[in-house]
Structure 1
Amino acid sequence: MSTLKTTETNKIPKTARGVRTRNKLLEAAEWEFGSKGFYETSIGEITRRAEVALGTFYVYFESKDEIFRALVGHMSRMTRQWVAEHAAEAKDRIEAEELGLSSFIDFVRQHQNLYRIIMEAQFVAPDAYREHYENFAEGYRRNLTEAAKRGEISEGDVDVRAWSLIGMSVFLGLRFGVWDEDAQASEIAERAVDLIGQGLKPR
């Protein structure tokens, strides 16, 4: 049984038009929260950017707090889906780590608001912040366990390994996705995965 959590509300639209409108609000919220922060953003600014009526907002969300929490979950899913799709063709777990990290850096470069929103969630919505990383950790634990069974990696504490790999990805994404976009993402991933696979011991 999965332990994945969700910050979604009960106001999930049942029509394609409703899904599009809700996504427009989330995209607008991503820009507003990402550029101004939670406290400086208003619902009115979100609806104006989304080009929907103020009343439409309340069809999908109860409050600014609720759309922020939904946005954290939305961006978390987007990130995981993007990485999973780009790592899907890997021949083994080590290659999957390399492709996944490279694609994550590329995703961060395309979504510069990701870090500000997730970092602010630590204080605005700590449950959503923790959920974001726990969902990543569950996927890592599952993938590492399966890879060990296939003989692609050694046996080990999958929880420690999962959080270690998350930490590496988070700070490499910050360094090379937000602060410096000049380096080739694939080269950064290759060097990081060399560390994962070979460690720091002299060769």
Structure 2
Amino acid sequence: MTANRAMTTQPAQKLTRAEKGQKIKADLFHAAAKVVGEVGYANALVSLITANAKVAQGTFYNHFDSRQDLFDQLLPALGAELLDFIRAQAHGAPDAIERERRSFLSFFEFIKLKPEFYRILYEAEVFAPRAFQMHMDRIADAYIRTLERGFGNGEVVFSDRRQLEALAFSLMGARQYLCMRFARQDGQTVDLPDWVTESYMTLVTQGIYRLSAAAR
């Protein structure tokens, strides 16, 4: 009997008021991402979002001033998740070229894991322009820092540090349009063909990064 009592499952600890609030806000973000991904910003009504999050409609306004307030926070929050995901996947890469390959592939893997991100991103410029600009600035800054590391190590072929910003936006644009053309079919996210990755990496290795002596 004593052993049985010791093995009895302890009741789950109750969440604090602050923890409950954090959970509800996270649930609303998740619901908003799903709803916007399915019907777009224009049709993502507060009632749809709260129904998906399984909370009362009035609860929404405890966390956001308006539907637009949520939209203005949604893309930057997902963008932060994207950057964390890419950093984790690229961690430990032995050189700039392998880091770029891992970062490139992880971008498309993230979109496959969170297909709603595609619509949220590409409609944001119209429906949440501040969020779109914040997201693009954050992604560009992260890319520029990575390129600056390669520049400092002598891995980047460009000799003028000012060119790194233009290069970052060029590579961001390449990912965007490759995603539109090859990673989406009939509104669904699909695997990027290997030959597309190799085409991108050929551009990177022959036009951007110096190959190490061992790789030549």
1:34 equivalenced with 2:45 (yes/no): no
Amino acid at match of 2:94: K
Shift of the 166–51 alpha-carbon distance from structure 1 to 2, 3 Å rule, reads: same
Amino acid at match of 1:174: M
The alignment's TM-score, normalised by the length of structure 2, stands at 0.79
Amino acid at match of 1:181: V
Q: Which runs of 5+ in 2 are unaligned?
A: 1-16, 208-216
Instruction: Work out the CA distance in 1 between the residues paired with 2:50 and 2:67.
Output: 11
2:181 to 175, 178, 181: 175
Aligned to 2:13: none
Q: How does 1:176-195 map to 2 (within 5 A)?
A: 176-179=182-185, 181-184=190-193, 188-195=196-203
Contact 1:102–1:188 (CA under 8 A) maintained in structure 2: no
Number of paired residues? 186
1:74 equivalenced with 2:77 (yes/no): yes
Instruction: Work out the CA distance in 2 between the residues paired with 1:24 and 1:121.
Output: 20
Contact 1:105–1:177 (CA under 8 A) maintained in structure 2: yes
Kindly state the Cα deviation for residue 182 of structure 1 after the two structures are TM-superposed.
4.4
Kindly state the Cα deviation for residue 187 of structure 1 after the two structures are TM-superposed.
5.3
Shift of the 20–102 alpha-carbon distance from structure 1 to 2, 3 Å rule, reads: same
> Bigger CA drift: 149-158 or 97-106?
149-158
Shift of the 127–149 alpha-carbon distance from structure 1 to 2, 3 Å rule, reads: same
Instruction: Work out the CA distance in 2 between the residues paired with 1:182 and 1:108.
Output: 10
Instruction: Work out the CA distance in 2 between the residues paired with 1:64 and 1:34.
Output: 15
Identity value in percent? 30
The alignment's TM-score, normalised by the length of structure 1, stands at 0.84
- Computing the radius of gyration from Cα coordinates, the structure with the larger value is 2
Q: Which has the higher contact order (CA 8 A, sep 6+)?
A: 1
Instruction: Work out the CA distance in 2 between the residues paired with 1:170 and 1:103.
Output: 13
Kindly state the Cα deviation for residue 174 of structure 1 after the two structures are TM-superposed.
2.6
Q: CA RMSD in A?
A: 2.0
